[in-house]
Amino acid sequence: MGGGNHGEFKIPDWRQYKVENAPELVQLQRALASQGLKDPWIRNEVWRYERKPGFKTPLQQASFLFFRGFKYGLALTVLTIAYDQVSKLTKSPVDHGHGHH
8 Å CB contact between 50 and 16 = no
**Same domain assignment for residues 51 and 16:** yes
- Residue 10: the pLDDT is 84
Domain region containing 79: 65-89
- pTM for the model stands at 0.45
**Same domain assignment for residues 72 and 50:** no
Mean pLDDT of each 10-residue bin along the chain, 101 residues long: 70 85 92 96 85 74 86 95 90 65 60
**Is position 72 within any domain?**
yes
Report which residue type is found at 14. W
8 Å CB contact between 20 and 26 = yes
Burial state string for 61-84 with b = 16 or more CB within 10 A and e = fewer than 16: eeeeeeeeeeeeeeeeeeeeeeee
Q: How many domains does the chain have?
A: 2
- Residue 7: the pLDDT is 76
- Residue 77: the pLDDT is 96
**Is position 97 within any domain?**
no
**Same domain assignment for residues 51 and 70:** no
**DSSP structural state of residue 9:** P
Q: Give which of 53, 58, 65 is closest to 24, Cα–Cα.
A: 58
| Terminal CA-CA length for the chain | 71
